[in-house]
Amino acid sequence: MVLLLPDGEADSRRRPSTLSYAVQLPFARSLARAGVGDGLAVHVLRYRWRGWNAADAHPAEDAAWAADEVQRRYGDVPVCLVGHGMGGRAAVRAAGHGAVTSVLAMAPWLPERTADGPEPVKQLMGRRVLIVHGTNDERTDPELSYRLAERAKKANRDTCRFEVHSDGHALRQHRSEVVALAADFVRGSLFTRSYARPVADALAAPPPLGLRMPLAAGFGRSLRH
Distances (CA, A) of 9 to 13, 50, 116, 154: 10, 6, 20, 29
Q: Mean pLDDT for each 10-residue chunk of the chain (225 residues)?
A: 97 90 95 95 96 96 98 96 98 98 98 85 97 98 97 96 97 97 98 94 97 95 55
Distance CA 96, CA 131 (A): 17
Whether pTM > 0.85 for this model: the answer is: yes
pLDDT of residue 222: 60
What is the H or E stretch that residue 174 is in? none
- Per-residue DSSP letter, 191: S
Amino acid at 55: A
Distances (CA, A) of 88 to 39, 82, 103, 206, 213: 24, 7, 9, 23, 19
Amino acid at 178: V
